Structure 1
Amino acid sequence: MRKLKFHILIPLLLLSLVGCAEQKLLEKVGIAILLGYDLGNEGVSTTAVIRQVNPDFESNIEIISAENQTSKGTRIEINRKTSKKVVVGQLRVALYGDELAKEEGIGNSIHALSRDSNISGSVYMAVVEDETKTLLNYNYENITDIGQHIFKLLEQNIEEEQIISSTLHEVSHDYYSIGEDIAMPILSREEELVSISGVALFIRGKMVGELPAEDSFYMKLSRDHYQSGAFEALIKNEDLEKALMKDPPEEISVVLDTVKSKSDLKLINQSTPEFDLHITMEARLLELNEEIDLGEPKNVAILEKAISESLSSEISRVISYCQEVNSDVFGLGNQYRSSVRNSNLTEEKWHEMYQKARVNVQVDFKITRSGTLD
């Protein structure tokens, strides 16, 4: 009986000791949840959103900024401004002001973050319209923890497949790959609201262009696959057959959900170069702003064709813009390099070829169910 009591007592003592040790550790450190980088007067300006825990396990948020020649140097400066050692093991988000992203680039930061063993590859990365410091220091009435708020904003939109994913792991992969460029969400603030307003396009580490947030759908559709996303598409008048409607409007709005898709990219001519991009897609038609009898199989087939043509046209438009700014966010160069033996492809050589490349887009769309229209 005594042995049994002894064996029970020891684990309880160990657990209490671990709890005490954890509490004392949390009292001594400040946990950086988000780091924002801006172009400073003499280098990089970093703003850290830090969670500090008091002895009663109540947390408060502190926002500290510092400037130095390097991003790691700014972390040292931030440590000098707080009573607790700042640790980055729980970092969730890295943000970049658009001026820094365009003028200096984010390559050094990607290198520093990816080489830091304390930082997870799942950290979300995004560009901020204007300065990150301004966004983070704004006095929000309904947001108590801006770092956690931005993390959840990015997380839920990526998980719901509303925007492209841009984790440190994914961004590092594209940055170090020959034949694929970085794309990441753009955040902006309008009064009390922080929202995803666009997609930033890069050549290597420098931002060279941007797309509206809605175009993230076409980008993801082209270079990835959907498992259960949702989207609102606009079908133009010229894509509608007269057999479907007697007097069609300028455009029809179609809401799709439970989107599932696959994309297949093939190099068909290496000298041009020329690619075939074939996308198969199915979705539930959730809402339609015009009265169309979808009980008729003929009408369903006409609508599927119209949506296919509309999606093909929009994807071609997005690819053309990316070629204009010379950002290969679709990985055409990767496909070229893997298809052409001994291509000896370099970053410079590919970007010369990329702007002249042809991409033939074909979308095959199918309605699985007509949702609320049944």
Structure 2
Amino acid sequence: MNKLKGKWLVLLSIVFLYGCAQTNILDKVGLTTLVGYDIGKEEKIATTAVIREVNPEFQSNVEVLTTENDTSKGNRMEANRKLSKKIMVGQMRVILFGEELAKDDLRYYLDTNLENASVSNGIFMAVVEGEAAPLLKYEYKNIEDIGQHIFRLIEQNVKQEYMISSTLHQIAHDYYSIGKDLAMPILKRDDELVELSGVALFKGSKMVSTLPVKDSFYVKIVRDTFKVGLYETILDNEDVPSKILQKKANKITVAFDAIHSKREIQLIDADKPTFDLNIKIKSRVLEVYPDINQGDPKSVSALEKAIEKKLSKEVSRVIAHSQEVESDIFGFGEKYRSSVRHSELTKEKWHKMYKDMKVNVHVDFVILRNGVFE
């Protein structure tokens, strides 16, 4: 009897607690899928939120709302006063920053989102050419939900390795790390489309420069491994022996997919920081124009050497640019700090050292001869 009474007490407790819990019925809330930040008037924060509302018939409606306040939480309160449904941020997938704001300082926005338990560490972060609000509020002919569209745009380009990944977790790691700076994709509106247009380079929490979108490949093979992406490069005529070409040409275009890449950074001189950067790429060449005899080992070897020379030159150029603006997005400082005992490295100290750093770039490019060419 006592056991039965105890079970009833437990059941009643569960029912009581369940009744006290706050529930969020889908048709009573607005789901924020994307937030864009710009500099507002009188130093306020201008927040543009893309909010999906679902009615009882499970038909959805997308609202794009801009508010200005002193804090991001104040902007959410302002938005709630303008909507009939409570705004929830648990479904947020992307955070965008206007270009002017990114150049000013993102410290507050990074800390605020990291401290918010409702915000997933897996959300993407990116910079917008110009301001975020006009990009989000434009009425696109073929885009129903601009929040979901931008999320899928970034997600599929990251998965196919056309663009670097910049989740909140990754950004936080690079931001707080001594010896590495953060980088984000850049978006812009192109008529009725939204496209990825480049890579934003940061020094601390301030954007200091950009790279064109084609350079994201070089950034990625230095920062990370490359496994599934497709890339196209143009070789200079003098770098490819004319005898291997089927016909004369001023330039040679090569498209390849990087089946596997691996990079290794070694510190060889700590006094004046000098590194050896070794990049190994095993790839399948998909297309060469003008064509070469890919069945001839000597022609394939010559093509490999030409690609190695081209990639070494481009990687060196991108690293040199990052040094000019003191943005170590590659993490050479992390390698220096882990290799030099008692270095007492700080962000400020490394940024000064980074400008004079020397990197010896070596690329080993191997064409996989599996007999399959597209």
Does the Cα contact within 8 Å between 1:285 and 1:370 map onto a contact in 2? no
Which position in structure 2 is the counterpart of 1:65? 66
Tell me whether 243-252 or 48-57 shows the greater mean CA deviation: 243-252
55-64 vs 250-259, which moves further: 250-259
How far is 1:330 from its partner? 0.4
SS at match of 1:302: helix
2:96 aligns with 95
Q: Return the letter of the residue paired with 2:222.
A: S
Comparing 255-264 with 336-345, which one deviates more in the overlay?
255-264
What residue number does 2:355 align with? 355
Residues 84 and 371 of structure 1: CA distance in aligned 2, closer, same or farther (over 3 Å): farther
Q: Deviations over 1:206-242 (max 9, x none)?
A: 1100000010000001110011111001111232234
Maintained 8 Å contact 1:240/1:248: no
Asked whether 1:45 is paired with 2:56, we answer no
Q: Show the counterpart of 2:364.
A: 364
2:172 is aligned with 1:172: yes
Matches within 5 A, 1:8-19: none
Distance 1:116 1:214, change over 3 A: same
Matched with 1:76 is 77
Amino acid at match of 1:32: T
Distance in 1 separating the partners of 2:79 and 2:266: 49
Aligned residues: 354
Q: Given the superposition, is the C-alpha separation of residues 24 and 76 from structure 1 closer, same or farther in structure 2, using an over 3 Å criterion?
A: closer
Aligned partner letter, 1:187: L
| CA distance in 2 between partners of 1:154 and 1:298 (Å) | 40
Corresponding position of 2:8: none
Structure 1 position 326, deviation (Å): 1.1
CA distance in 2, matches of 1:62, 1:296: 60
Contact 2:246–2:292 (CA under 8 A) maintained in structure 1: no
Counterparts in 2 of 1:24 and 1:106: CA distance versus 1, 3 Å:
closer
Q: Is the 8 A contact 1:23 1:55 kept in 2?
A: no
SS at match of 1:157: helix
Contact (CA 8 Å) 1:230, 1:259: kept in 2 or not?
A: no
C-alpha displacement of 1:91:
0.6
Q: Which residue of 1 aligns with 2:345?
A: 345
SS at match of 1:55: coil
CA-CA distance at 1:265 after TM superposition: 0.6
Distance in 2 separating the partners of 1:39 and 1:371: 55
Partner of 2:106: 106
CA distance in 2, matches of 1:371, 1:89: 49
Q: In the alignment, is residue 216 of structure 1 matched against residue 201 of structure 2?
A: no
Query: What percentage of aligned pairs have identical amino acids?
Result: 52
Tell whether the 8 Å contact from 2:245 to 2:290 is kept in structure 1 after alignment: no
Q: Which amino acid aligns with 1:101?
A: A
CA contact (8 A) 1:229 1:260 kept: no
Partner of 1:9: none
Shift of 1:259: 3.1
For structure 2, the residue ranges without an aligned partner over 5 or more in a row are 1-17
Quote the Cα distance in structure 2 between the aligned partners of 1:113 and 1:161: 26
Matches within 5 A, 1:1-374: 25-42=25-42, 43-103=44-104, 105-245=105-245, 249-369=249-369, 373=373
Pair 1:246–1:86, CA change in 2 (3 A)? closer
AA in 2 matched with 1:88: V
Give the residue type in structure 2 aligned to 1:227.
K
Equivalent residue of 2:217, what SS?
Answer: helix
TM-score, structure 1 length as denominator? 0.91
Q: Cα RMSD over matched residues?
A: 1.9
Distance 1:132 1:198, change over 3 A: same
Q: Secondary structure at the match of 1:165?
A: coil
Q: State the secondary structure of the residue aligned to 2:175.
A: helix
Instruction: Judge conservation of contact 1:286–1:370 (CA < 8 Å) in 2.
Output: no
Contact persistence 1:187–1:194 (CA under 8 A): yes
Pair 260,347 (structure 1): closer, same or farther in 2 beyond 3 Å: same
Letter in 2 for 1:62: E
Identify unmatched segments of 5+ residues in structure 1.
1-17
Shift of 1:129: 0.5
Amino acid at match of 1:295: G
- Flag the 1:370–1:304 CA change in 2: closer, same or farther, 3 A: farther
Matched-pair contact (CA < 8 Å) for 2:246–2:290? no
How far does the alpha carbon of each residue in 1:50-88 deviate from its partner, in whole angstroms, 9 at most, with x for none?
A: 011111111110111111122232222222221211111
Please give the secondary structure, in 1, of the residue aligned with 2:345.
Answer: coil
Alignment-mate amino acid for residue 76 of structure 2: R
Report the residue type matching 1:348 in the other structure: E
Give 1:29 shift.
1.0
Distance (whole Å) between structure 2 residues aligned to residue 366 and residue 146 of structure 1: 41
SS of equivalent residue, structure 2 residue 280: strand
1:174-233 CA-to-partner distances (Å, cap 9, x unmatched) read: 111111111110000011010000000001111100000010000001110011111001
Shift of 1:115: 1.1
Output one character per residue of 1:149-173: Cα deviation in whole Å (capped at 9) or x when no partner: 0000000000001000000100111
1:251 Cα deviation after fit: 2.3
Distance 1:216 1:313, change over 3 A: same
C-alpha separation in 2, matches of 1:259 and 1:216: 17
* CA distance, structure 2, for counterparts of residue 257 and residue 343 of structure 1: 40
Query: Structure 1 residues 320, 371: closer, same or farther in 2, change over 3 A?
Result: farther
